[in-house]
Amino acid sequence: MKLGFLTACLPELPLPDIAAWAADAGYEALEVAVWPSTGSRDFEASHIDVANFGAGEAEQVGELFEKHGLTLSSLAYYENNLHPDEARRAEIAAHVKRAVDAAALLGVETVGTFIGRHPGLSVKENVELAERVLPPLVEYAGERDVKIIIENCVMEGWHPDGYPGNIAYSPELWEWMFSLGLYLNYDPSHLLWLGIDPVTALKPYVDRIPHAQAKDAQLDPAARNRYGFFGKTITREHPWDEGWWRYRVPGRGQVDWSGVVDALYEGGFTGVLSVEHEDPVWSGTEAKVKQGLEIAHRTLRPLITG
């Protein structure tokens, strides 16, 4: 197992600067953000331009990672593959394919994305839609020896009422998506606030987890007593303002990291555990983001052998 982080938390820095800092900070891998330079998400990052990527660019990226002794663990493009606008959905699918092509050139095993959700349809209807939309992407990736991995993020901000906007949030849905040839990019933080024990949920599925993310969550039960499970309604300031929980870097929340890492080892996991930094306390400036990554490293590094 290696320890890395997702580059999306440093959107303004170029990849060479991130790689140099990561190596100096003791990280061993990077999960590289490959959103387009313009798009629908306010925290997107584009550290590899997969829309204009060929053998020459792959060689340059390979040399960069070799120079710093780093592994490129995955390419990250987390978007709504069931977007209600069919034209936008087609754009997203096309970019997933470009990410797969780049991964194949780089020798990277996985491309990460979301299943997503059409918010005007029920979960059952979304499952039926996904069974039409996703298999062609799985086949395209498989032909290039790349796996598509799905993060179990709830993406509640994509739904007008804060309900799940990505139908991959529970083990029941993981089993369904595995049947489509998809894999899991396991993140325990989302399970914690859903009331699902992250370690118990993880253990049966390690063989379908080629890559994992490390994000923590901090819960406030007193605030939940006011707002309810789905969070604020009238006083919600933005789509992600749930009011009773927030994401934290590992070591500043309530995830049992010893239990998570032990379960990964016991299940035979040999991939990368990638810190996904979305901690509001350690955000706002480059210096604070890097401090957050250092906290995560101090928390997780002692748990990873080798």
- 250-288: pLDDT as tens digits: 999 999 999 999 999 999 999 999 999 999 999 999 999
247 within domain boundaries: no
The pLDDT score that the predictor gives to residue 161 is 86
66 within domain boundaries: yes
C-alpha distances in angstroms, 3 versus 65, 224, 299? 15, 33, 11
d(CA 278, CA 48): 21
The pLDDT score that the predictor gives to residue 44 is 75
- 44-65: pLDDT as tens digits: 799 999 999 999 999 999 999 9
For 121, the domain range is 2-216+252-303
Examine the pLDDT at 167 and tell me if it is beyond 90: yes
**Nearest C-alpha neighbor of 10 from the set 298, 289, 279:** 289
224 within domain boundaries: no
232 within domain boundaries: no
Helix, strand, coil % in the chain, rounded to nearest 5:
45, 15, 40
Concatenate the DSSP letters of all residues of 38-74 into one string: S-S-TT--BSS-GGG--HHHHHHHHHHHHHHT-EEEE
The pLDDT score that the predictor gives to residue 305 is 85
Looking up residue 176, the CATH number of its domain turns out to be: 3.20.20.150
d(CA 118, CA 80): 8
123 within domain boundaries: yes
The pLDDT score that the predictor gives to residue 306 is 63
Examine the pLDDT at 75 and tell me if it is beyond 70: yes
96 within domain boundaries: yes
The pLDDT score that the predictor gives to residue 162 is 86
SS3 135: helix
Number of domains comprising the chain: 1
**Nearest C-alpha neighbor of 138 from the set 176, 97, 108, 78:** 97
- 6-49: pLDDT as tens digits: 999 999 999 999 999 999 999 999 999 999 976 544 457 999 99
In this structure, the strands spanning 147-151 and 2-6 are: unpaired
d(CA 70, CA 145): 21
119 token code pair: 């918010």
Residue positions counted in the chain: 306
- 110-146: pLDDT as tens digits: 999 999 999 999 999 999 999 999 999 999 999 999 9
pTM above 0.85, yes or no: yes
Determine phi and psi for 278, rounding to 5 degrees. -130, 30
* pLDDT mean across residues, the chain: 96
233 within domain boundaries: no
- Whether the CB-CB separation of 185 and 150 falls below 8 Å is answered with yes
Give, for 75, the enclosing helix (H) or strand (E).
strand 71-80
The pLDDT score that the predictor gives to residue 43 is 52
281 within domain boundaries: yes
The pLDDT score that the predictor gives to residue 38 is 63
- 190-231: pLDDT as tens digits: 999 999 999 999 999 999 999 999 999 999 999 999 999 999
Buried b (16+ CB within 10 A) or exposed e, 60-89: ebeebbeebebbbbbbbbbbbbbbeeeeeb
Residues 6+ apart with CB under 8 A from 282: 249, 252, 288, 289, 291, 292, 295
